[in-house]
Chain A
């Protein structure tokens, strides 16, 4: 077993632990930060596979942009915290389904590639990758850039506050009043009890 394999196992463990904590964490912000750990581990795996450019894109796009986007998403939506609020009723069934799928996939992978000899990863340089994108893959590249533009326009259109044709603000859709904080409710009860006791003493 080479040092490359040992490093891979280390980063694979970090990535897997981050992923598991992402889907089991009870705190939303912690889940987003564990996702960042997992994505960074995947970037390290890309580096070990000698895919330098993909690793760099992974760090820039995922760690730099998407994690921040998720954190903003969590901050802008007020969500309850706790296992009851975060996990749905079909949690045991989901666990069974994903565990059995993992078993099937591992059996398939070992049967298909178990006798594949260990090789040292090698990759084309960043220049060759750029040449490949802009020669052989230029049509998919253009399609992807159009899709990115469409997604940008669509996201702005969806997230914008509704307004009429004249540009005037229409009535804002009312959202339900937030439930009162539990601490406030308890303080209110205690105040009422004290008031009742004071009244009785007098």
Chain B
């Protein structure tokens, strides 16, 4: 298996996630796009671990992929809580409406 395949897939997923973050208005869809970007990073970590640095005794890539999964889960939890709060206060989850702290 070549190393290029997973890396290009990860780059594609990251760019799709970036597009979603910039182009979407709904805050829940923006959170979904952030998930795509985090998963792209995970593919990179696992691919480098299992294809290039196979004899690493402490499995750095896979362990950090697991940490990234944990951080992503925490991020979704807090992010959705913030979105619910915003919906309760403003009756909208359009991120263009969230301009309270804009200068």
Contacts and interface: CB of A to CB of B under 8 A. Distances in A.
A associates with B: yes
Tell which of A5, A19, A70, A109 has the most Cβ of chain B within 10 Å: A19
B28 A51 contact: no
Main secondary structure of the interface of A (DSSP, over half): helix
Contact of B84 (A4, A16, A159): A159
Interface stretch (A120-128, A163-171, A180-188, A190-198): A120-128
A116 B3 contact: yes
A2 B28 CA distance: 40
B74 A147 contact: yes
A144 B67 contact: yes
A105 B69 CA distance: 23
B98 interface: no
B8 A173 contact: no
Contact of A19 (B23, B36, B42): B36
Contacts of B17: 19, 23
Interface in A115-149: 116, 118-124, 128-129, 132-133, 135-137, 140-141, 144, 147-148
A73 B20 CA distance: 17
Interface of B: 1-9, 11-20, 22-26, 28-29, 31-33, 35-36, 39, 42-43, 46-47, 49-52, 54, 57-59, 62-63, 65-67, 69-78, 80-85, 87-91, 93-96
Given A54-B42, A73-B28, 11 more contacts: A19-B12, A23-B24, A32-B32, A46-B43, A51-B65, A116-B52, A121-B1, A152-B77, A154-B81, A159-B85, A173-B89
Interface of A: 2, 4-5, 8-9, 12, 15-16, 19-20, 22-23, 28, 31-32, 35, 38-39, 42, 45-46, 48-51, 53-54, 57-58, 61-62, 65-66, 69-70, 72-74, 76-79, 85-88, 90-91, 93-95, 97-99, 101-102, 105-106, 109-110, 113-114, 116, 118-124, 128-129, 132-133, 135-137, 140-141, 144, 147-148, 151-152, 154-159, 161, 173, 175-176
